[in-house]
């Protein structure tokens, strides 16, 4: 039987056809790939053509229709601008006298020409140092070392940097800055001696030429003479990049009077203060721009600084830069201050005379300064503020910032606030008498007044400066009961209530005077014993600044309104005289108990007329006042280096005049007025106040309604306050 291969069914021609049963008619159609490719190519080609057409249209618009617009934009984006500081606004006293003005000066400046080489700048520096006077002594040791290093770097690196140090550098253990300081350290005094005077003078100029200034002109020499400026102009072809321009400096017609309060301005070399650099850069200041650094110059920088001139920097065919004005600048706004220059001069003179008169007094060896504030209590205007200091060599200097920066124990002048507090809290009644004898707390020294006063009421307690009366106010306020030679317990938080009351007068808080760096004073922490609380009631604990005392007495004088002191009244455009800023009177708070305040005013008046504020009754105007003495101390270092502590006494005074309608308030502080133990001396604040008040009211004009204020809108006597 023959074996045949196993074969499947034979395939027919029809088997090659696809079976489309169940498919749509669209899928049954045969695909024409050539048509599909052609169609897609056409779509792509069309898209490309449309895109190209859009580009062509856009290019035509840019290059033909808007050529000038885009050329101007390009010029704007690539343009280099230079700003020039315009003169600052002036500061005037309340009568229009200039306290701070501007003095024009000539400067020689430099702006690097395009593509200038360092060698060429050295050549210019040498030429300049030969033709103009240059002070090489301003170079410090570090400057000279930098100069020597720039001339001998290869030699120093080869001979004075060790192989180990270079190996550490290449390894990454030392960086470029480390090597730089090693190079400086290896430069000796003998090396610096090889730098001759001509080279040093040239280096001074080169330093100025290299000064970074954010693309601004560099000042090579300031305040040059007219002859020097003329010489440079005549030889401009030898000094490419150099020019002469005008600048300004601050000038003070009244000399050093109030200078530290008025403030200082940085020089172009100093530029922006490092501590405020980011702030001023954010305001688009240049790094070498002059700005207020202290005092009112800093406080009112935004008003005093003028609108800067803007120039477009371009270069001529020689590469020398030139400027064309884009925006014209303008001078800053002028400030009208509250200061009365005549009274300020008189106050400085009086304080200086007193210090010189007592400089050899053996009982006043440490009385080296006196602080005084004269204020308009109705507006907060500071009419005069002075702190005169007698230096070790006997000369007198002025430090008016001490008025709001230095604090001392004031003593009895604060008793007005203590009486008001007692009356307002109801722990004493108007006219209630308290026996002024002494207070003896167990295990503590006797506390008493300057003498035994007997029975005194609130007004008499102020007139005679009773400590015992104030002690009783504090004891009652704290819920205590006094029994002689027994422990005294009062509420632990009594001192907080007392500080709250004192702050309503401006004591122990910032007054808000419009000048930087006001200090609160020394305010101790929690009072842990009753004795401290009693001391607090008579001004023997917290320390206050003189401006705080001025705000305190002004609050009493004007009827209970605590007004923010001000040194600037307004700012105005010097050209149009239009007021652009008004420093309105700011009433910070108001005492509500007018009856209690009136008792305090009666006590202050009684202190002058029948009390211990003697020496003020011969004035051409009535006056109310309160004096104070406070225990203090001073640390002394002897010639042998041994430090000792000497007990001293502070003197103080607050006053206002006229008594019935106050227009002037005064605050005086004399630290270390005399040495404790040498006997009580006169309070020199009384003498000073007497002389100053007579200077205010001359014999031909003693009307009690005479006022330093000329603002109808800032008079508290019957008129609304803004």
List active site positions.
Answer: 412
* Residues 61, 62, 66, 72, Cα dihedral to 10°: 170
**534-545 b/e with 16+ CB inside 10 Å = b?**
bbbbbbbbbbbb
Find out whether 625 and 689 touch, Cβ atoms under 8 Å: yes
Q: Distances from the Cα of 571 to the Cαs of 92, 95, 464, 568, in angstroms?
A: 10, 14, 46, 8
Give Cα separations from 477 to 458, 481, 482, 493, 594 (angstroms).
Answer: 15, 10, 12, 10, 20
216 to 115, 209, 286, 652: CA distances (angstroms): 17, 11, 8, 53
φ, ψ for residue 102 (rounded to 5)? -120, 140
Residues 631, 648: Cα–Cα separation, whole Å: 6
Which residues contact residue 542 at a Cβ distance below 8 angstroms, ignoring those fewer than 6 apart? 409, 499, 502, 507, 508, 521, 522, 523, 524, 536
Decide if 468 contacts 449 (C-beta within 8 A): yes
- Assess contact for 245 and 217: CB atoms under 8 A: yes
Residue 141: CB partners within 8 Å, gap ≥ 6? 192
CA distance 17 to 13: 8
In contact, 545 and 508? CB cutoff 8 Å: no
Other CB atoms within 10 A of residue 629 CB = 26
Q: Which residues of 373-389 are buried (b: 16+ CB within 10 A; e: fewer)?
A: bbbbbbbbbbbbbbbbb
């Amino acid at each position: 039987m023959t074996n045949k291969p196993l074969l499947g069914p034979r395939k027919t021609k029809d088997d090659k056809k696809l079976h489309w049963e169940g498919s749509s008619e669209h899928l049954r159609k045969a695909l024409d790939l050539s048509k599909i490719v052609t169609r897609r190519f056409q779509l792509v080609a069309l898209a490309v053509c449309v895109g190209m057409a859009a580009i062509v249209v856009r290019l035509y618009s840019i290059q033909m229709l808007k050529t000038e617009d885009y050329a101007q934009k390009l010029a704007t984006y690539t343009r280099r601008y230079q700003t020039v500081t315009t003169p600052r606004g002036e500061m005037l006293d309340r009568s229009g006298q200039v306290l701070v003005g501007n003095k024009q000066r000539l400067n020689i400046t430099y702006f690097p020409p395009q593509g200038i080489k360092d060698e060429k700048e050295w050549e210019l520096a040498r030429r300049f140092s030969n033709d103009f006077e240059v002070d090489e002594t301003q170079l410090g040791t570090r400057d000279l070392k930098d100069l020597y290093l720039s001339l001998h770097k290869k030699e120093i690196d080869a001979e004075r940097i060790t192989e180990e140090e270079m190996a550490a550098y290449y390894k990454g253990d030392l960086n470029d800055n480390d090597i730089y300081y090693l190079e400086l350290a290896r430069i000796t005094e003998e090396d610096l001696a090889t730098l001759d005077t001509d080279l040093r003078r040239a280096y001074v100029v080169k330093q100025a030429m290299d000064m970074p200034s954010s693309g601004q002109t560099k000042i090579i020499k300031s305040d040059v003479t007219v002859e020097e400026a003329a010489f440079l102009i005549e030889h401009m072809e030898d000094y490419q990049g150099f020019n002469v321009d005008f600048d300004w400096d601050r000038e003070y017609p009244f000399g050093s009077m109030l200078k530290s309060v008025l403030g200082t301005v940085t020089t172009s070399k100093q530029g922006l203060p490092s501590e405020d650099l980011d702030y001023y850069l954010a305001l688009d200041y240049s790094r070498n721009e002059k700005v207020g650094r202290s005092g009112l110059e800093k406080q009112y920088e935004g008003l005093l600084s003028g609108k800067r001139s803007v120039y477009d920097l371009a270069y001529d065919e020689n590469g020398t830069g030139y400027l064309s004005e884009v925006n014209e600048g303008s001078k800053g706004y002028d400030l009208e201050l509250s200061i009365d220059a005549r009274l300020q001069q008189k106050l400085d003179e009086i304080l200086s005379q007193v210090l010189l008169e007592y400089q050899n007094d053996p009982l006043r060896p440490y009385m080296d300064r006196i602080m005084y504030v004269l204020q308009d209590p109705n507006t907060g205007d500071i009419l005069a503020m002075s702190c005169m200091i007698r230096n070790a060599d006997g000369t007198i200097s002025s430090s008016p910032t001490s008025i709001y920066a230095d604090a001392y124990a004031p003593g009895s002048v604060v008793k007005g606030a203590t009486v008001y507090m007692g009356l307002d809290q109801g722990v004493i009644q108007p006219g209630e008498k308290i026996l002024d004898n002494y207070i003896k707390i167990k295990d503590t020294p006797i506390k008493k007044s300057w003498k035994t006063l007997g029975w005194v009421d609130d007004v008499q307690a102020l007139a005679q400066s009773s400590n015992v009366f104030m002690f009783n106010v504090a004891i009652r306020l704290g819920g205590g009961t006094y029994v002689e030679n027994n422990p005294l317990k009062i509420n632990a938080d009594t001192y907080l209530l007392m500080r709250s009351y004192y702050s309503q007068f401006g004591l122990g808080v910032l007054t808000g005077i419009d000048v930087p760096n006001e200090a609160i004073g020394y305010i101790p922490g929690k009072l842990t014993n009753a004795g401290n609380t009693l001391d607090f009631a008579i001004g023997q604990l917290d320390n206050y600044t003189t401006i705080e005392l001025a705000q305190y007495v002004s609050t009493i004088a004007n009827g209970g309104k605590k007004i923010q002191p001000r040194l600037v009244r307004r700012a105005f455009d010097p050209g149009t005289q239009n007021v652009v800023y008004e420093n309105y009177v700011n009433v910070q708070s108001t005492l509500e108990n007018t009856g209690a305040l009136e008792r305090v005013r009666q006590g202050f008046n009684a202190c002058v007329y029948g009390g211990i504020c003697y020496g003020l009754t011969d004035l051409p105007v009535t006056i109310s006042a309160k004096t104070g003495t406070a225990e203090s101390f001073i640390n002394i270092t002897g010639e042998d280096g041994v430090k000792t502590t000497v007990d001293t006494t502070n003197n103080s005074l607050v006053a206002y005049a006229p008594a019935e309608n106050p227009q002037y308030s005064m605050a005086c502080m004399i630290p270390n007025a005399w040495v404790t133990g040498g006997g009580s001396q006169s309070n020199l604040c009384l003498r000073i106040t007497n002389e100053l008040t007579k200077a205010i009211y001359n014999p031909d004009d003693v009307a009690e309604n005479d006022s330093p204020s000329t603002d109808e809108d800032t008079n508290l006597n019957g008129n609304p306050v803004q």
